[in-house]
Amino acid sequence: MDLVMVHGGAGGENHPVQSEALEKAAMAGYSALSGGHLDAVERAVIAMEDDPLFNAGYGSVLNLAGEVEMDAAIFDGSTVRCGGVVAIREVRNPVRVARLVMDETPHALLAGEGAIRFAREQGCASFNPVTEKQKINWEKAILAHQRGEQPDICALTGESGSCDTVGSLAVKNGLVAAASSTGGVLLKLPGRVGDTGVFGAGIYASPQGAVVCTGLGEIFIQRNIAAWTVNLMNQGVNVHDAARAAIHRLTGSGATGGVLVADAQGNAVAIYNTALFPVAMVVNGELISSFTPVKI
């Protein structure tokens, strides 16, 4: 079974335009699946990074200093190879740089200025990912922060009805891959790194399956959610039970979020405990409109 799944982050409200954007991203990923499972997840995430509806790439939230710092990662379950960038600035598609880290260096993770320098060396042009909308959201949030008030916008995204991290899973001929990207948390301290770029926390894969997560990154890091979930699958636990166990582990920590989980056979599930978890899935070239994430 050939499959591509995408998510637009946990939380927020249901927006038809966002659902359409997710469907386009899933189809874009599937169109790249002929090149392999890694090409599929990279292309799907690029589609979401290019869309200012999502808190990833162009449209990312601003940190406390009024800058965009982004994290992204990609993981090949078949080889257990990975690449990532954290606190990277001034690029359009952080997931593309993450893929280059995996393919073109002996390293797994590059950070900050080193990641930016590497991106330029690889031909990634300088790009300003700050949108006018996010700049306005930052100005409102910073004023509230200075007054000691809680801003009336989502701490993760700067929007009252939007979501945070984006991610994708792909399965082709029994090979699995995962990719994820985020702008992080609005008003975060400069240099803050969430779970997206931390392998085992927000993303992980093995020959048996793959996981991408979304939610407040610190808890996913502390609980090692992604690797813990994949380890259950490595022990023979099915995707549904592994995903449920992951969200129960999250709930037990008093946190909220969502997970996409898929195994090498193409069995897949999306489970969450937030207000919303927008997901789209394409199987064997067909958009599965009946696919519904499970809330617990």
List residues with catalytic annotation.
165
Cα–Cα separations (whole angstroms), residue 292 to 7, 151, 260, 270:
12, 32, 12, 8
Cβ 112 vs Cβ 191: under 8 Å: yes
State which amino acid sits at residue 253.
S
* Residues 6+ positions from 292 with CB-CB distance below 8 Å: none
Cβ 258 vs Cβ 244: under 8 Å: no
The helix-helix angle for 37-49 and 16-31 (nearest 10°) equals 150
Cβ 37 vs Cβ 177: under 8 Å: yes
Q: Is 182 helix (H, G, I), strand (E, B) or coil?
A: strand
Cβ 279 vs Cβ 4: under 8 Å: no
